Amino acid sequence: MIDLHVHSTASDGSESPGAVVRMAAAAGLTAIALTDHDTQSGIAQARIEAARSGIELIAGTELSLEWVQGAMHMVVLFLEPGPGPLQDRLAGLREGRTERNSRIVARLAELGLPISEAEILELAGGESVGRPHIAAVMVSRGYVETIFDAFDRYLAWGKPAYMARPRLSPEEAVGLALESKAVPILAHPHTLGLNTSEEVSTTLRRLSGAGLVGIECYYPLYSPFEREGYAALAERFGLKPSGGSDYHGTYKPDVELGIGRGNLAVADQLLDALRPA
Ligand code: AMP
Ligand code: ZN
Ligand code: FE
Ligand code: FE
């Protein structure tokens, strides 16, 4: 089994890149993709550990894209760290995070929930800082009980401390990934907020037309029924099935590496189909 969607301390996971690889090897996985938000700063450490542990490490990232109805995320697999069309855009996306995080902090202060940017950076410790870190600081201050509560009451879309940040359009992101010889995958498609099968068709036709390669069919939240449904949809729109746990360690306490909420199993054969030509 494999896991093609994993976060580390390089973004909003709680475990270091090396620790994540060691855990994957211990769990018997044969490959994992490190897909930290807007950064590849964990890849070097993960690669060293993967060589030691004898498992395959796929370099990647995860991007949040422009989408009005919900959240559209793209996992990019086989993205080699270093200069390149998509790689060169990541620093700008991280700057957009920094600026957005300041606006969230200012809003929280107005709401009577002061926290400092220094404390967020210290807790995050990595290159890509985001809302889960802000949520964790809010928990440590006693403003909310859990990270989930912080999102549910303040940080999620539509809540009082939600702030937008600059994002790539789906076409831009897919195009840049392909120019970088990487493999763009539509992540957790349920968060798109598509309500009718017509919306599903329109959206998947649009993304597939832009050059999208794959779609996550295997994800912790999905029942076996839903996984089969997504796999059928993938086939219909010429997309390859992918899957992963979206592991974040203690930032998403109910999700375990490889197995998600216990019943996730992503077959290693999927990986061979996804490899760039
Ligand atoms: P950011 O990229 O900083 O805007 O934060 C996005 C990340 O926050 C996602 O990748 C999830 O890890 C987490 N997240 C988003 N929405 C929620 C939510 N409603 N509850 C818990 N975590 C969430
Ligand atoms: Zn995340
Ligand atoms: Fe995501
Ligand atoms: Fe993710």
Please give the Cα distance from 147 to 143 (Å, whole number): 10
Q: What is the pLDDT of residues 38-92, one digit of tens each?
A: 999 999 999 999 999 999 999 999 999 999 999 999 999 999 999 999 999 999 9
Tally Cβ neighbours within 10 Å of residue 196.
8
CA 35 to ligand 2 centroid distance, Å: 9
In Å, what is the CA distance from 263 to each residue of 71, 77, 227?
25, 23, 12
Query: 10 Å Cβ neighbour count for 228?
Result: 12
Contact 120, 105 (CB under 8 A): yes
For residues 205 and 185, give the distance between their C-alpha atoms in angstroms, rounded to a whole number: 14
Q: Which ligand is nearest to the CA of 252?
A: 1
pLDDT tens digits along 142-201 = 999 999 999 999 999 999 999 999 999 999 999 999 999 999 999 999 999 999 999 999
Measured from the Cα of 156, ligand 1's closest atom is 19
Cβ–ligand 1 distance for 133 under 6 Å, the answer no
**CB within 8 A of 157, min separation 6: which ones?**
70, 71
Residue 37 Cβ inside 6 Å of ligand 1? The answer reads yes
Q: Is the CB of 248 under 6 A from ligand 1?
A: yes
Give, using CA atoms, the residue closest to atom 18 of ligand 1: 151
In angstroms, the CA 191 to CA 73 distance is: 8
pLDDT of 3 over the 90 cut: yes
CA gap 233, 38 in Å, rounded: 28
Q: Does ligand 1 lie within 6 Å of residue 148's CB atom?
A: yes
The helix or strand, by DSSP H or E, that contains position 33, with its residue range, turns out to be strand 31-34
Whole-number Å distance, alpha carbon 257 to ligand 2 midpoint, is 14
**Which atom from ligand 1 is nearest to the alpha carbon of 134?**
3
